[in-house]
Amino acid sequence: MDDIRSRAIRIYDAFTHEHRDRRALLREMAALAGSVAAAETLIAGIAASPAAAQQVPENDDRLVASMQSFTAEGINTHYYHAQSKDPDGALPVVMVIHENRGLNAHIKDVCRRLALAGFIADAPDFLSPAGGTPADEDKARDLIGQLDMAATVATGVRALKVFAAMRNTNHRIGVVGFCWGGAMANRLAIAAGKGLDAGVAYYGPAPDPAEAARVQAPLLLHYAGNDTRVNATGEPWVAALKAAGKSVEAFTYPGVEHAFNNDTSAERYNAAAAGLAWDRTIAFFHKQLDSPA
């Protein structure tokens, strides 16, 4: 069964990251599982159900959380904002970057978790230029694939500046991204220069190692042991960062799958690895961001 599960996850990852046809996905899964019904059960267990594992309620009375927007250089960007209702002084900011499904309920929940950990959390919807994240995650993935990457990175750099400059912050800002967002976190570490104070990437495909010298912020990078697709890019990226004298910590969690942190996906989520990676992330952000700029 473990072999079928692992092969099913590989097939699903190819679908989500290589933009394959859903009918082809069902056909391959049915061949693996033995029937269409069994294939649909496999797919349901792997695919994310964003509301399924909410850890912090939307109406948690300890927090202030809502959708907001900012306009910079003539471009309007929607974002989700979460922070403590009664902050103890000015707080650092963590910008949260969504997966290739867009700004969904799971990423908003991650923002609320960060807010309870002592940060102001802001998650831009990078599909704002396309009208915002749609409810259909397949459509969201298609729209993500159509984004102009240079323009998207520029939006991320603008967002970092806007969020860090807001009142009630200590003007220090970090970024954390997952999957597509992990790749974006690395790209922003290159593009933002000193405009970023700390970066965390969860299993994000890495940039060209030749770009490592441009990174200014300390980085914490999380990789899944079974994620050969991403790890093939991550290992040379980490080596290049170290060779360039950059501050980087990288952890690979043995035996876990891509998206192991996403607790809305029953087949991918690994509670032990997710908990350890989260504790490391929170400690890293407090170390790098708590002191005022």
Q: Say which of 13, 78, 258, 263 is annotated catalytic.
A: 258
Pick from 206, 234, 223: nearest CA to 258: 223
The answer to whether residues 95 and 175 touch, using CB atoms and an 8 Å cutoff, is yes
Is there a catalytic annotation at residue 111?
no
DSSP state of 135: S
Q: Say which of 179, 197, 222, 263 is annotated catalytic.
A: 179
Whole-angstrom distance, CA of residue 114 vs CA of residue 56: 10
Is there a catalytic annotation at residue 179?
yes
Q: Say which of 109, 122, 125, 227 is annotated catalytic.
A: 227
Cα Rg of the chain, angstroms? 19
Residue 183: CB partners within 8 Å, gap ≥ 6? Answer: 177, 201, 204, 205, 206, 207
3-state secondary structure of 170: strand
Pick from 10, 90, 73: nearest CA to 42: 10
According to DSSP, the β-strands at 91-97 and 120-124 are parallel
The answer to whether residues 280 and 220 touch, using CB atoms and an 8 Å cutoff, is yes
Is there a catalytic annotation at residue 227?
yes
DSSP 5-65: HHHHHHHHHHHHHHT--HHHHHHHHHHHHSSHHHHHHHHHHHS--TTTT-SS-TT-TTEEE
Catalytic residues: 179, 227, 258
